[in-house]
Structure 1
Amino acid sequence: MTTTSATSSTSATSKLVSALGGGSGIDTASLAEQLAAAQFASRLDQLSARGDKLTTQISAASTLKSMITTLASSFGDRVRTGDLAVNPQIANSAVATVTKGALTGSGTSSLEVTSLAKGQTLTTPSYAAGSTATVGSGTLTLRFGTISGTAFTADAARAQVDITVAQGATLDDVASAINAKGAGVTAYVATGTSGAQLVLKGGDGAANAFVLEAAEDPLDPGLADLAWTPAAGTARLKTAASDAAYVLDGVARTSVTNTITDAAPGLTLKLTGTNVGNPTTISFSDPASAIQTAMGDLVSALNEMMSELNKDTDPTSGTLNNDAGTRALRRSLSSLALTKVMPSAAAGDPSTLSDLGLKTNRDGTFALDTTRLSATLAASPTGAAAMFTTGLFGVYATLDKTARAVASSTDSSSLGGSVARMTTLQSALAAQRADLQTKQEDLRTKLVSRYAALDSRLSNSKSTLSFLQAQVAAWNAKSN
């Protein structure tokens, strides 16, 4: 009986200890963390999944946006090199440089330059004292017009320019005063073997000739020495003002400057030398081969984009299969071939990319109709070349306009708008996730606090249990 009673008591004690958690070693901090995590795990996982999907979508949309932007930019660089346009070329580059004008030229032209446009160069008498020599005081007057021999004909439409020269003024001071007027005549002091003298230079063209008059102060004479008119002789006239003279396509012409922007359709001249009696030839390049290569490269780039677009819009696996901006890009590309890129093209001239051979297949991909492109280049080579410019219209302008529309972040129906919308949503999800994580941490902190109090009470219960165990042991000892 005694043994049985002792055994029962020991068993009861063990159960009590077990029930009170004695010696169990529970990690309340870890338990709190796990319970808090479990409380928010589902919602955090959902936010993470949505965030990951948005990251993938933003990446795919940004790739498409970058592809169309890069295509437009690269095509613009290609156009700017000039090999896709009809460009003038001159056989004798010492006579002139030739550039393409607003229009497109063709055929060949002959050019003979008999004289270049020049500005008048006038000097003053030399002063042995140098640039600081005083010249007297009073007023210098510039008058503009034309000079023929010893005669000067004033231009009534141009006002005279008066330059006040103060007492004690030097050559340097006079040069500065003339330049300050900004009247088309510049001056500087040149020091030569005989001393210092003013050099005055006028603008190009015979109509920019000038005379220099002086009204000197009688009490401070000397300024009259600077004055000059053609009647005084040509010793101080180092270069006479003259127009350029040239013969283009057999027609004699003149120009007040050496840069002639309206020489002929598609042709701008900058005269640099003369070739009297030995005309040179100006011709225009044929960009047909370069255009064919460029169109082939364009088709390849568009098909690369379509491949990416088809992958992203696949009904079952496409990342952007329900995105409005991506659908808008597909619509733009599908209508590209028939878009009028030259709305003001003359009848018979090419005006669309389809005229240059761009063809849209049934599956949305592109192909190059080389037969149609060759026919266009043969029938209207200048019209085809005119489509490859950096102006408001043309192939590049159309691609650039498409790229800008696609990339616009303010248009909710564009690809750029989709990226902006998804980026905003991604930021909102990140904020929600941060808020849930804060709440999770708050819950963990509360649970840790509660379990700490429970652990304290459990610790007190263990002390009571130890006392009871000692009493039970004492009772058992007495019974034995």
Structure 2
Amino acid sequence: MESTSTSSTSSIITTLGAGSGINMKQLASDLAVAQFKQRNDSLAARGELLAQKISVASTIKNGFATLASSLGDVVRTGSLAPLPKVANSAVATASTPLGTIGKGSYSLEVTQLARRQVLTGPAMASATDPIGAGTLTIRFGKMDGASFAEDTEQAAVEITLESGSTLKDVANKINAAGAGVTAYIAQTVDGPQLVVKGAEGEQSGFVIEATETPGEEGLAALAWEPTTGAAAQLKDTSQDARFTLDGLAMSSKTNSTGQIAPGLQLSLTGTNAGSPTTVSFANTTGGVAQTMSDLVTALNEIVSELNRATNVKSGELRGDPGARSLKLALAKLPGSVVMPNATGNAPSTLSDLGLVINRDGTFKIDDDRLAATLERDPDGVAAMFTTGLYGVYSTFDKLARNAGSTGDANSLGASIKRYEGQAEKVTEMTAEIAEKQEALRLQMVARFAKADARVAASQSTLTFLRQQIDSWNASKN
């Protein structure tokens, strides 16, 4: 109440030239502020504390999300798994399918690359002249010299051409059909020619049949099959890729083989018949050691912030269930089984990779333990660094997802959501108090105005009486 009195007194400094001489508007404003000051101060302090909680919890949550994402990027590049390499790079490039691990070496001999059929039509005078009307039917199968064996499991494609259709229309409609063949108009020295290309693989050969609309003939010029069509129109024939891996005959419809051995897929680019090359997997144990070191450094930065935020005396998140749950999960991290399918002496926990927890909750790497594991089972270690269901990445990804989840009451995500809801409520309450404060100010302004008017009237009467008395006294003298 003393502060209210002081604030009110400070307003009695500006006269209005009438009435009481007190600035009633300022007095009303000061009294309204004083009335709600305690509640406003309390809400402001509460809002600031909630903002700090949200900021710190979000920083920790986002830190884990970033850590998991960065680890995922490293794993996806395959730099922590043995990388396949082809000695003769002109023959093929090798890669490892996601979630797989390769090892050892293989001999590779490519005798034939996959190819696609290329068929041309006759030269025309113009690509925009009418070519006829009717239907072109494209059938798929195996082209073998002068014979064609249709693959009835592949649906034929019918291209309907209306009256007035041009060579350009034919190409556009073939492309629009999306049936594994593409077409374009080649501007040759003899004139525009339709070029139709199929997909790779020997069963992707094709013939073109024409059914013409009577009176609008012309499409027959675009028809082709090996027994009656001009051989010069067939520029290339479709075929499978053929190669041997460790002497075993293999084939592929395309030059991308898919996985042909554990952790190995090829993109064929050339042939080396009679001169086999070698595919081998490189050792990446040094990368694993560096990654574990980087992982612990990043993890400790987050743990240090978590420890500070949960300090029982000064931490913004002291007593927070999400922060407490996260600390418990981190404490169990080294001993957690991240490779449940590991057999025998294969590494299965993060402690096998040298991860050790300190008394303060931070982590360190036992270099000797990690080196021993890498020496004993490098393939088992490599298997822990994939994007599969299990492993180092999936463990940290799950940890980050759990921390950010809003569906679990004991998570940082749920804590943040709860604090945000409370902060929103504080904002609403502050707005309500502001409305009440303004209403009180207006009410007091109105009351003070009436009081000021009455004081002004009294002063006017007093002035009149003083003037009369002064006049009487003057007449007596």
TM-score (norm 1): 0.83
Residue 145 of structure 1: CA displacement? 3.0
User: CA deviation digits over 1:218-269, x for unaligned, max 9?
Assistant: 8776655554443457433321222212122222322221110122111111
Distance across 1 between alignment mates of 2:158 and 2:19 = 112
Three-state SS of the structure 1 residue aligned to 2:364 is: strand
Residue 178 of structure 1: CA displacement? 4.5
Pair 308,227 (structure 1): closer, same or farther in 2 beyond 3 Å: closer
1:431-442 equivalences under 5 Å are 431-442=428-439
Three-state SS of the structure 1 residue aligned to 2:313 is: coil
Match of 1:316 in 2: 313
Match of 1:363 in 2: 360
Match of 2:38 in 1: 42
Pair 86,219 (structure 1): closer, same or farther in 2 beyond 3 Å: same
Q: Are 2:383 and 1:386 equivalent residues in the alignment?
A: yes
Match of 1:326 in 2: 323
Conserved 8 A contact 2:78-2:96 = no
Three-state SS of the structure 2 residue aligned to 1:235 is: helix
Task: In structure 2, give the amino acid aligned to 1:263.
Answer: I
Q: Are 2:443 and 1:450 equivalent residues in the alignment?
A: no
Conserved 8 A contact 1:202-1:210 = yes
Q: Are 2:55 and 1:63 equivalent residues in the alignment?
A: no
User: CA deviation digits over 1:123-155, x for unaligned, max 9?
Assistant: 34444x343566666665544333434333333
Task: In structure 2, give the amino acid aligned to 1:58.
Answer: I
Conserved 8 A contact 1:130-1:191 = no
Distance across 2 between alignment mates of 1:419 and 1:73 = 21
Match of 2:351 in 1: 354
User: CA deviation digits over 1:90-131, x for unaligned, max 9?
Assistant: 22222112111252111222222121111222334444x343
Fraction of identical pairs, as percent: 51
User: CA deviation digits over 1:348-377, x for unaligned, max 9?
Assistant: 332322222212223322121222222222
Q: Are 2:90 and 1:94 equivalent residues in the alignment?
A: yes
Q: Are 2:195 and 1:199 equivalent residues in the alignment?
A: yes
Conserved 8 A contact 1:151-1:231 = yes
Conserved 8 A contact 1:204-1:241 = yes
The structure having more radius of gyration, on CA atoms, is 1
TM-score (norm 2): 0.84
Pair 474,341 (structure 1): closer, same or farther in 2 beyond 3 Å: same
Match of 2:337 in 1: 340
Pair 123,463 (structure 1): closer, same or farther in 2 beyond 3 Å: closer
The range that moved more, 183-192 or 77-86, is: 183-192
Distance across 2 between alignment mates of 1:119 and 1:182 = 16
Alignment counterpart, residue 297 of structure 2, candidates 296, 300, 309: 300
Task: In structure 2, give the amino acid aligned to 1:332.
Answer: A
Report the aligned-residue RMSD: 3.3
Residue 403 of structure 1: CA displacement? 1.5
The range that moved more, 437-446 or 136-145, is: 136-145
Conserved 8 A contact 2:20-2:455 = no
Distance across 2 between alignment mates of 1:459 and 1:172 = 97
Q: Are 2:127 and 1:119 equivalent residues in the alignment?
A: no
Gaps of 5+ in 2: 1-17
1:204-219 equivalences under 5 Å are 204-213=200-209
Alignment counterpart, residue 185 of structure 2, candidates 172, 184, 189: 189
Alignment counterpart, residue 284 of structure 2, candidates 283, 287, 291: 287
1:259-274 equivalences under 5 Å are 259-274=256-271
How many residues are paired up? 458
Pair 38,229 (structure 1): closer, same or farther in 2 beyond 3 Å: closer
